[in-house]
A = this chain, B = another copy of it.
Amino acid sequence: MFNKVLICGVGLIGGSFALALKKAGAARQIVGVGRSAASLARAQELGIIDAAATDIAAAMDGADLVLIAAPVAQTGAILRSLAPYLKPGVIVTDAGSTKGDVVAAARAELGDMINQFVPGHPIAGRESNGPDAAIDDLYVGKKVVLTALPENSAADVERVASAWLACGAVIHRLSAQEHDAVFASVSHLPHVLAYALVADIAAKPHAATLFQYAASGFRDFTRISGSSPEMWRDISLANRDALLQEVDAYLMQLTRMRQMLAESDGAALEDVYTTAQKARLDWMAAIEAAEKNRREPAREQGGD
């Protein structure tokens, strides 16, 4: 049970965390802070937060857990505003999609208090954003990756894990570097590729005709290109080095396939397509098996 949880950013991610903690009876009080007074008022109206704080000192008074759920580029500024009021024993965590840059910002802003910052990343989302999109079961059965620092105490990491477990999530553990490499590959690169395709088509003189014939395969392939450009600019820059490696590997793969096509090497193309299809079908089968277990109580998974 937490006494007072402070949520910095009461949108989809922070708001859903608040609603899930409330539903689980895991927090006595939830207070929100944020840049938008309208969002805070709306979050209070929706019962996501008990109070909206305008004064950081008052907001931090009595808080035992702080979640930063804002665009990653704002993490440093938010930590700077919290640092003067950060008492020993209070834990700060975050929900950012990149971890290396967040950890660097936290080290810069928190200095000797870095042990109080436990970085995290819930792997969950919806098409919509803002407090109105928040739901109490967003994290049920979803992964939350904690990228604990060497300075963190095991007890503090467990405390953050307990909050996410109360939300129904499954806890995974990676280093910040492992995390960023993994998500560069399976999330950040696909976003770049989808943005590239739609921008490429949109720039053609006959774009209107092309879009007219785009069908369901195109719709699914490009869904992530509907994501916030600002957010993905920040993620791209925050995870630049890992993302560059993935883009380069992909460019090589696509260039090899271009060559197969230019040489009309159907057997080689079919090999690549078959490898991909098999991996995709195996992955979907694993997901479906996991979905079946979704209603069982979430448990911490060890060793990853």
> Could you tell me which A residues sit within 8 Å of B by CB distance?
123-125, 143, 145, 172, 182-183, 185-187, 189-204, 207, 209-230, 232-234, 236-237, 240, 243-244, 247-251, 253-255, 257-258, 261-262, 264, 266, 269-270, 272-284, 286-287, 304
Contacts and interface: CB of A to CB of B under 8 A. Distances in A.
B123 A254 contact: no
A3 to B, nearest CB: 33
25 contacts: A143-B213, A182-B210, A182-B213, A186-B214, A186-B218, A187-B217, A192-B254, A193-B197, A196-B257, A196-B276, A198-B275, A199-B272, A202-B276, A221-B223, A221-B224, A226-B277, A232-B273, A233-B269, A237-B261, A237-B266, A240-B262, A243-B261, A247-B257, A250-B254, A251-B255
B199 A276 contact: yes
A293 B282 CA distance: 38
A201 B273 contact: no
- Interface of A, secondary structure class, is helix
Nearest to A211: B283
Contacts of A249: 200
B253 A258 contact: no
Contacts of A280: 198, 222, 225-226
A243 to B, nearest CB: 6
Contact of A199 (B229, B243, B275): B275
B213 A224 contact: no
Contacts of A250: 196-197, 200, 254
Nearest to A192: B257
Nearest to A199: B276
Nearest to A183: B213
A187 B215 contact: yes
A251 to B, nearest CB: 6
A219 B283 CA distance: 9
